[in-house]
Amino acid sequence: MERTEDGRYIVVNGRRWRATDPELPEETAARLRSHLGRARSAVRTAGDDGARRAARDRVQWAKEGLGERGEAWWELAVPQRLARARDRLAQLERLASS
């Protein structure tokens, strides 16, 4: 996948998208990506507006945890970035277990 020189963005079909935070431990990033995939699937299959909103919220939390949304990861100190990822992952795992 092509990245910009500064590593902050990936380029897909000429369009820039914020890259995943490179400081995230692979296990954390993988778990967030798993939640992201399940949430995206839930958006597509939601039976009503409430379920769709809840699934979109899960997409948002996963993307924030990965550093792809919210405050840009390169503007935060590494401990803040890791704390954000852990927090979003904990939220997602609580929802998945309920």
Q: Is the pLDDT of residue 10 over 90?
A: yes
> What are the pLDDT digits (tens) for 33-74?
999 999 999 999 999 999 999 999 999 999 999 999 999 999
Position 97 scores a pLDDT of 87
φ and ψ at 68, to 5 degrees? -90, -10
Query: Which pTM was predicted?
Result: 0.93
Q: Is the pLDDT of residue 90 over 90?
A: yes
Q: How far is Cα 72 from Cα 16, in angstroms, rounded to an integer?
A: 14
Q: How far is Cα 43 from Cα 49, in angstroms, rounded to an integer?
A: 10
Q: Is the pLDDT of residue 79 over 90?
A: yes
Q: Is the pLDDT of residue 1 over 90?
A: no
